[in-house]
Structure 1
């Protein structure tokens, strides 16, 4: 694994490359380091604003070539979000490097995790939180899929759906506790009693009784969480009781 010193050196070299690149106008650190919450396991998250007339495909090729030649980094995948494209790299020492590129006219923060290095940022709306109704809907749907998979004796599929339902229940709890619901960032900050309860929905050995117990636990937790939401406390209760049997 990489050291903190190695990560800092790689990040500084990437920023230096951005400063020398005529197509790059803006640069910022995003993620945990931007708010001083990084540790020895943190990755590198950098975002760049590029000249509006520049060809993004050429930019991606140029940066990918640099990452390969300087750091022997390989591409994991690309993600598009709004006007931005994210390219994720992995170095041989397992250091993850996330680089995103946005036309300069749209460059700016979408969360509070944004530290400008050079250039200017435009005013943008922050990334919106998930809707509670949607999260509840997904949690119930995946619980139902878990039940039908158990009855069909598709136990691996049942475990998959149970995990998806549990994830959405934990996202729901994060929203209620004003914690970060994205990518599990707030999960470890959830109340201890809730975490002790929901860990009973984890499946250690894959068999019908364990899956049934895990599903029953999860539906009971979900019923409890819905009881404190005025618009939802009288909905889905009977169906959840049936699903969790």
Structure 2
């Protein structure tokens, strides 16, 4: 694994290249490093404001990362007009380079540290939609039970685990914690964390899958009661059917 010194030297090289690139008119760190919350394992998140078309700058930087820094792989995550190109370097150094048009260079959240350039005021990223999350909860619970009935046990495990992920996101949303990628999960109350432990699937035995589903539905129901009591009153009896209907009688 990389050392802190290797990561720091890499950041210096990235900034030096950004300052020497005529098409790059702004640079900012995001993520934990931007707010002095990094630790030994933090990766590097750097936003580059690009004047003109993104593609030539993207390809030029990509070639440099492979030829000079020994990149092993990369993949893209489009975000509006910007492209986040995620690189893997030797020693498991990860670099998330966002190439964004000059007019969209600016913070969309609190994790931002401008190095150079002029950031623009931008709308923050929208949090996850609560109604979508709630819809995914009942959808995943239903499909988990159906997969148990069909003896598609790996798929049942998939749905139960995804159901857990979404109820964690909903709880984080309710409490004002980061809701994406379980980033706020460690901030959840101890009683909720303890209840979530019981949702882990321990084997692919049908009885175990139903036990884990029942535990997960219990957490979902409790969270709905905190978040939307009226909706919980409508959904709770139906969710209970998924856990108490005898095997082979799921409707």
Give TM class, smaller chain. Answer: over 0.9
Q: Does 1:44 align with 2:44?
A: yes
Structure-to-structure mapping, 1:25-64, within 5 angstroms: 25-51=25-51, 53=52, 55-64=53-62
SS in 1 for 2:122: coil
Matched, 1:74 2:72: yes
* Structure 2, gaps ≥5 residues long: 245-251
Rounded Cα–Cα distance in structure 1 between residues aligned with 2:25 and 2:153: 52
Query: Where has structure 1 moved over 6 Å in runs of 4 or more?
Result: none
State the aligned residue count. Answer: 243
Distance 2:132 2:233 in 1: 17
Q: Which residue of 1 aligns with 2:164?
A: 166
SS at match of 1:235: helix
Which residue does the alignment assign to 1:176? 174
Q: What CA distance in whole angstroms lies between the structure 2 residues aligned with 1:50 and 1:199?
A: 45
Shift of 1:237: 1.4
What's the secondary structure of 2:115's corresponding residue? strand
- Partner secondary structure for residue 68 of structure 2: helix
> Secondary structure, in 3 states, of the residue corresponding to 2:97?
strand
The answer to whether the aligner puts 1:157 opposite 2:143 as a matched pair is no
- Cα deviations across residues 88-108 of structure 1 (Å, max 9, x unaligned)? 000111111100111101111
Contact residue 73 and residue 89 of structure 2 kept, 8 A = no
SS of residue in 1 equivalent to 2:92: coil
Cα distance in 1 for residues equivalent to 2:241 and 2:29 = 48
Q: Give the TM-score, by structure 1 length.
A: 0.96
Q: Superposed, which structure 2 residues align to 1:188-199 within 5 Å?
A: 188-199=186-197
**Equivalent residues in 2 for 1:1-245, closer than 5 Å:** 1-51=1-51, 53=52, 55-228=53-226, 229-245=228-244
Measured in 1, the distance between the counterparts of 2:63 and 2:215 equals 50
What SS does the aligned partner of 1:125 have? coil
What CA distance in whole angstroms lies between the structure 2 residues aligned with 1:111 and 1:167?
A: 23
Q: Secondary structure at the match of 2:96?
A: strand
Say whether the 8 Å CA contact 1:146–1:158 is kept in structure 2.
yes
Contact 1:29 1:114 in 2 (8 A): yes
Shift of 1:231: 4.5
- Equivalent-residue separation in structure 2 for 1:80 and 1:136 (angstroms): 26
Q: TM-score, normalised by structure 2?
A: 0.94
Q: Is the 8 A contact 2:144 2:156 kept in 1?
A: yes
- Where does the alignment leave 5 or more consecutive residues of structure 1 unmatched? none
Distance 2:115 2:9 in 1: 16
Equivalents in 2 of 1:232, 1:65: separation in Å? 53
- Equivalents in 1 of 2:62, 2:225: separation in Å? 51
